[in-house]
Amino acid sequence: MRINKYIASAGIASRRKADEMIASGQVKVNGAVLTKPGYDVLPGDIVEVRGQEIRPSGEKLYYAMNKPMGCVTTVKDDKGRATVMDYIREVDARLFPVGRLDFNTSGLLFLTNDGDFAYKLTHPKHKVDKKYLVRIAGNINKADLSRLRRGVVLDTGFRTSPAQVNIITWNRHSTILDVTIHEGKKRQVRKMFEAVGYHVVQLERVSIGNIQLGHLKPGRCRKLNPSEVKYLMNL
């Protein structure tokens, strides 16, 4: 089995993250730092990640969480901030979050120990729809709505694909919209609105594909059922 897949199936990280760990010298095979990213693990090989021996685990676990605001979507944080893992302590497995939500974004987030599942849902080529509820300061005009729908150029120079954008409600101070995108650039929704001159004051992810956040309370998790996992794997 290829080394990045081996690390992923041990529940350490997604395959892409595993590649980064290999590149930064955190992976050893039989006591030597691995330099070949395409290495095929052989029976009897001892693989260590950050000094700890790892083995692929059998049971795959899949959870949906309502990520609360005020925590990061990493397993550890070197600045000591709360992480999503603080909310899933009761689950005895080395889970990791699938993709990311900003510190101040809430909503649907998957956690798993299955690197292939994470890869499938986060790789841009798979184009999985993610829907967000967005509150912006002020009111948006039709021309700016059209620009968002057609795609805008972010501060990074990235041009976003066409998006579904609908106004749900508004008052004098703010507007609530839903936005569906399949890309996952860092702070993409916030930056899309910035690109057309609006400030996002609240952001919540409400669905991924057809899996809904539903009534899951902030900070709570539920196991995805087998048909949901199958559906997500086949997207």
45 is catalytic: no
Question: 103 vs 231, which CB is nearer to ligand URA?
Answer: 103
Structure tokens at 55: 């083995």
Q: How far is the CB of 12 from ligand URA (least distance, A)?
A: 24
Length of the chain: 235
On whether the CB atoms of residues 203 and 136 are closer than 8 A, the answer is: no
Active-site entry in 77, 102, 116, 144? 102
Question: 135 vs 190, which CB is nearer to ligand URA?
Answer: 190
Q: How far is the CB of 203 from ligand URA (least distance, A)?
A: 6
Q: How far is the CB of 102 from ligand URA (least distance, A)?
A: 4
Q: What sign results for the dihedral spanned by CA atoms 117, 119, 122, 128?
A: negative
- Give start and end residues of each alpha helix (H) in the chain: 3-9, 15-23, 115-122, 142-150, 188-195, 226-233
Q: In Å, what is the CA distance from 62 to each residue of 5, 59, 89? A: 17, 10, 15
Q: How far is the CB of 71 from ligand URA (least distance, A)?
A: 12
Question: 47 vs 101, which CB is nearer to ligand URA?
Answer: 101
Structure tokens at 58: 């059998």
Between CA 93 and CA 116 the distance in angstroms is 16
Question: 94 vs 187, which CB is nearer to ligand URA?
Answer: 187
Structure tokens at 75: 């397993």
What residues make contact with ligand URA under the rule CB under 6 A? 101-102, 105, 187-190, 203
Would you please indicate which residues are annotated as catalytic (active-site) residues? 102
